[in-house]
Amino acid sequence: MEGKTVLVIEDDPTTQGLLKTIYSYAGAKVHIAPDGDTGLRMFSDCQPDVIILDLMLPKINGWTVCRRIHQMADTPIIILSALSGQEDIKDGYDSGAIDYMTKPFSGKSLIERTKTILSRVDSDQKNAQVFYDDGYMRFNPGERQLFVNNQPVRLTKTENKLLELLVRQKNKLLTYNQILQNVWGWNHNSKPEKIQLNISRLRQKIERNPQQPAYLILEYGLGYMFKSAKGFTNLADK
């Protein structure tokens, strides 16, 4: 697990210490959040590769934390809880968890399952690379490459992330709140004006006529969508 970041959202100090030791020994960088509210804020700050989540948490319970993170990102969440009832386990998976382990737990088993999940996620990400090409605009966010009319166009990190989000959800309206959470993070206090500024910059870079956009479409009072052109190629669909 060298180079991986683990976010542990757990209120019990003994379990916190045990998980930190287990994952640190495996080579991961470990962040600890003692409650649900802190966990959500730390999720945006540390951008973990995997989350270990307790359910009975102070301030915001684990089910709510799981749902909120699942709405924002595809980060795998492993629930680690003393609750072992079938309904509890079902609710955990329904909230967006990728795995569910009960306490007491085996550290070796937890590490093995975490490695398996991360390996599968890495493989899926490689196979599901977004690549948009309609003959006029060609976009590869993984390489941060954009060509418009066969000319290279430079993107900032934020512009690349915003355009990737919209292309992934092509022809689907994303609300201001969804865009803010996915691009700037859960605890970011930006307003829709931040989105509008970056959309304006992107329009200058990709639209034939920025005053009459064909790609980046505004739904007044709601949000934006990326409208794909006819005849486009998107490898994420293959």
Query: By three-state DSSP, how is residue 76 classified?
Result: coil
Predicted local distance difference test score (pLDDT) of residue 2: 86
Q: Is the pLDDT of residue 127 over 80?
A: no
The band of 235, judged by pLDDT with boundaries at 50, 70 and 90, is very low
Return d(Cα 8, Cα 78) in angstroms, integer: 10
Return d(Cα 182, Cα 225) in angstroms, integer: 14
pLDDT digits (tens, 9 = 90+) for 2-21: 889 999 999 999 999 999 99
The yes/no answer on whether domain 132-237 falls in CATH 1.10.10.10 is yes
The band of 205, judged by pLDDT with boundaries at 50, 70 and 90, is very high
Element (H, E) at 93: helix 86-94
| Helices 176-184 + 157-168 axis angle, to 10 | 130
Predicted local distance difference test score (pLDDT) of residue 102: 95
Element (H, E) at 43: helix 36-46
Which residues neighbour 139 within 8 Å (Cβ) at sequence distance 6 or greater?
130, 131, 132, 133, 145, 146, 147, 163, 164, 167
- 110 exposed, middle or buried (CB, 10 Å; 0-12, 13-18, 19+)? buried
The band of 113, judged by pLDDT with boundaries at 50, 70 and 90, is very high
pLDDT digits (tens, 9 = 90+) for 130-181: 678 988 999 988 778 899 999 999 998 889 989 999 998 889 999 988 898 8
C-alpha Rg value of the chain to the nearest Å:
20
Query: By three-state DSSP, how is residue 27 classified?
Result: coil
The band of 189, judged by pLDDT with boundaries at 50, 70 and 90, is low
Q: Distance from first CA to last CA of the chain, Å, rounded?
A: 30
Q: Is the pLDDT of residue 129 over 70?
A: no
Domain coordinates in residue numbering, the chain = 5-127, 132-237
Superfamily of domain 5-127: Response regulator (3.40.50.2300)
pLDDT digits (tens, 9 = 90+) for 36-88: 999 998 987 888 899 999 999 999 999 999 998 887 777 899 999 999 999 99
**Average pLDDT value for residue range 194-208:** 95
